[in-house]
């Protein structure tokens, strides 16, 4: 059995500014640094064999924190990066519905059809993150592996790990910054989810989602601003 600790990156500047920061290499925020201190202690006594990260700074710094007490080199994989939003990159979430109404409608109502101009389709992310993590599992049989990635990418992976088609991705919850999900892979490469989106190392002061309201009213407002980055 190979165990994957899948960690979403710490709060980044784009999460505060409420902009689409998919492929933007945004640094972590001041609160993100506090989250990383909590994450560092959480993984202090968890034995890790390998550490992988998206090449984006906010994920790499998260991998550094989680592996702080283990002295394990970090391997970066492009396949762990966040969705490339094309022309959405750097735009404010509140303005996107007016700027790109058709693409926003797909994002909100039919994410499996999301295909931003100049960017990456949701289906490409769904396939990419799965194939990347399967490769990690194959390269690390019977090991414990930490992987630092991004909100949309992780959501796609968990959807597939649950055996769900992309068309049911809306059933997958949004992920807190530095939240930890655990997925075990058996010898037949079948995924077994142990836990999802566990941010018990954070409190109300360091949580990102608890300080924001978009996720509470996103369905009723018709706009999902999304946990991206």
Asked whether residue 229 is assigned to any structural domain, the reply reads no
Closest CA relative to residue 175, chosen from 133, 226, 225, 217: 226
> What pLDDT, on a 0 to 100 scale, did the predictor assign at position 213?
57
* Structural domain range at position 209: 2-221
Please state, in angstroms and rounded to a whole number, the distance separating the CA atoms of residues 154 and 175: 8
Tokens at residue 56, please? 């984006």
Q: Reduced to 3 states, what is the DSSP secondary structure of residue 218?
A: helix
CA distance 130 to 176: 20
Does 163 fall in a domain?
yes
Q: What is the pLDDT of residue 228?
A: 56
The pLDDT assigned to 142 comes to 97
Residue with tokens 């990102």: 208
Tally of CA atoms within 13 A in the half-sphere of 69 that contains its CB: 14
Please report the sign of the dihedral spanned by the C-alpha atoms of residue 159, residue 201, residue 82, residue 217: positive
Read off the pLDDT of residues 113-167 as tens digits, 9 standing for 90 and up. Answer: 999 999 999 999 999 999 999 999 999 999 999 999 999 999 999 999 999 999 9
> Rounded mean pLDDT of 204-217?
70
Residue 16 resides in a domain: yes
60-76 pLDDT, tens per residue? Answer: 999 999 999 998 999 99
Q: For residue 115, count other CB atoms closer than 10 A to its CB.
A: 15
Angle at 43 between CA 38 and CA 48, to 5 degrees: 155
pLDDT at 39 over 80: yes
> CA-CA distance, 145 to 47, in Å (whole number)?
9
Q: How many domains does the chain have?
A: 1
State residue 222's pLDDT score.
35
Mean pLDDT of all residues in 178-194: 97
Query: Which one is predicted more confidently, 56 or 218?
Result: 56
Residue 121 lies in a domain: yes
pLDDT reported for residue 13: 87
Instruction: Report d(CA 69, CA 41) in Å as an integer.
Output: 9
Residue 228 lies in a domain: no
pLDDT at 20 over 80: yes
Single pTM value for the model = 0.91
The enclosing domain of 132 has a CATH number of 3.40.50.1240
> What is the pLDDT of the chain when averaged over all its residues?
92
* H helix or E strand, kind and range, residue 181: strand 180-185
What burial class does residue 129 get, using C-beta atoms within 10 Å of its C-beta: 0-12 exposed, 13-18 middle, 19+ buried? Answer: buried
Asked if residue 227 belongs to a domain, the reply is no
- Residue percentage of the chain with pLDDT more than 90: 85
pLDDT grade for 223, boundaries at 50, 70 and 90: very low
Q: At 229, is the pLDDT very low, low, confident or very high (cuts 50, 70, 90)?
A: low
DSSP H stretches of helix in the chain: 13-17, 30-42, 57-66, 96-99, 101-109, 122-139, 151-161, 214-221
């Amino acid at each position: 059995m190979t165990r994957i600790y899948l960690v979403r990156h710490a709060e980044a500047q784009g999460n505060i500014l409420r902009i689409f920061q998919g492929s933007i290499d945004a640094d972590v925020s001041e609160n993100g640094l506090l989250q990383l201190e909590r994450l560092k202690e959480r993984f202090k006594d968890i034995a890790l064999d390998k550490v992988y990260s998206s090449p984006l700074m906010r994920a790499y710094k998260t991998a550094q924190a989680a592996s702080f007490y283990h002295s394990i080199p970090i391997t970066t994989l492009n396949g762990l990066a966040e969705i490339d939003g094309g022309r959405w990159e750097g735009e404010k979430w509140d303005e996107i519905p007016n700027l790109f109404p058709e693409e926003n409608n797909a994002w909100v109502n039919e994410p499996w059809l999301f295909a931003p101009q100049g960017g990456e389709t949701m289906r490409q992310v769904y396939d990419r993150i799965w194939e990347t993590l399967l490769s990690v599992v194959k390269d690390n049989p019977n090991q414990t592996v930490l992987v630092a990635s991004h909100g949309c990418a992780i959501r796609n992976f968990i959807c597939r790990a649950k055996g769900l088609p992309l068309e049911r991705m809306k059933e997958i919850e949004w992920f807190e910054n530095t939240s930890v999900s655990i997925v075990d892979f058996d010898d037949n490469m079948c995924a077994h989810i142990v836990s999802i989106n566990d941010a018990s190392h954070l409190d109300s002061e360091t949580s990102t989602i608890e300080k924001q309201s978009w996720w509470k009213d996103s369905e009723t407002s018709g706009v999902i601003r999304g946990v991206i980055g």
